[in-house]
Amino acid sequence: MKVTIFGSGYVGLVTGACLAEAGNHVVCVDIDAGKVAMLNAGEVPIHEPGLDALIRRNRDGGRLEFTTDAARGVDHGLFQLIAVGTPPDEDGSADLRHVLSVAREIGARLQRYAVVVTKSTVPVGTADKVREQLTSALAARGASVEFDVVSNPEFLKEGVAIQDFLKPDRIVVGADSARSTELMHALYEPFTRNHDRLIVMDIRSAELTKYAANAMLAARISFMNEMTILCEAYGADVEDIRKGIGTDYRIGPAFLRAGCGYGGSCFPKDVAALEHISRAIGHENLFVNAIQTINKAQKKRFVEKVISKLGRPIDGATIAVWGLAFKADTDDIRESAALDVIRYLLEKGARVRATDPKAMENMKQVFKDEVEWMPDPVSAAVGADAVALLTDWPQYSTLPFRKIAATMNQPLIFDGRNCLHRDVMRENGFQYYPMGRPAVENKLRLKTKV
């Protein structure tokens, strides 16, 4: 099948590469000529495990193209997928300018029937606005071309997005015609052969499903982050509680890990958007408001813990920040906990030395020379008064901790992701403060540098 995707960001690239892998001929359209040139040269502008090889294989096989030519894209695809950004406005609402601009672009050039699919995360009623733009653009040129509008929200997790697409747990399709429903079934048939996981519903329900899913997942994380406060006050262990409730089949284990706050391109934006569309109908969504309040407070509470346990004034202290991406296996820093934590530390007068395996260049664009950028966690910790671990990169759990302890001003780690082993910290002389778990109040000081 012929597929056109407008937008070569995270969703567009993963969707395009995976659809091409299934044998479709995919054309990705983007207004950023530099990005298109990079992709055509075999370079991928984002970090997602396996994506570069997938793009290269399908580009070399002639199944995946990248262009700035919108006319070429509209002429190509039976499916016209809109996967452009919907950044939040100041009031939390989703900015639909790019989505509606693409709809007008399609309507201005469409010559034959097409299924216009919104992949971008959009508020309820966006499909109606897309339809209006298409109809208006067609009328402006006196054209009479049939089309259908479909909502097909993405549920990709950064770091495992390719696996999520190729082996989905569900595919949500909002459609209002038998023709478009049948075509969407055909498009996704290679991914649902063993188990038909395609769920068809009305368009508005599909649009709201994406927001509901992300808000529910954010709520689970926020609940566990609230539990860290009780655990630290009463000497309980949030990891034991996670296991105790996660084995209840009614709850399940996913998204119950506590930490210093969630981030990323989806949860903060979608929770804020859900709050906005609630207010649009005159409803104050207390549940959604609480999710946001808890998440903001958790990041600040992490810094307050650093200040209270540091053993010296934060003003002038050197804090090594390990991890800048909002999660491991990505270079995405959008709404990362590190953004707020570093800001708070700088406001308090701390000197920040930061490192990350993939996200450092992106974070440099934010803080520039306010932060000292280090090539690795070992060098970042040299001469530091404490380490703040903010991203759960697996390599951080296997570092030479004895060497690190011996080079720090004081061996002190604040683990915002609960990814280090308490016994290892104790054995290597660290004072160790995780989130919602018993601390290691280690009085041992290593005398010999190794």
Q: Is 169 exposed, middle or buried (0-12, 13-18, 19+ CB in 10 A)?
A: exposed
DSSP state of 429: T
Say which amino acid occupies 4. Answer: T
DSSP state of 440: B
The CA distance from 188 to 210, in Å, is 18
| Nearest CA-CA partner of 168 in 146, 179, 153, 147 | 153
Examine the residue annotation and report whether 231 is marked as an active-site residue of this protein.
no
Asked if 324 and 356 touch (Cβ cutoff 8 Å), the reply is yes
Helix (H) or strand (E) holding 148: strand 147-151
Pick the catalytic residue from 18, 231, 266, 419: 266
Contacts of 215 (CB under 8 A, 6+ apart): 270, 271, 274, 288, 291
Q: Can you tell me which residue has the tokens 């041992």?
A: 444
Which 3 state secondary structure label does DSSP give 56? helix
Question: At CA 98, angle to CA 95 and CA 102, rounded to 5?
Answer: 145
Neighbours of 190 (CB within 10 A): 14
For the chain, how far is it from start to end, CA to CA, in angstroms? 61
Contacts of 134 (CB under 8 A, 6+ apart): 103, 104, 106, 107, 110, 116, 147, 149
Asked if 271 and 221 touch (Cβ cutoff 8 Å), the reply is no
CA atoms 395, 401, 407, 413: torsion sign: positive
Catalytic residues: 266
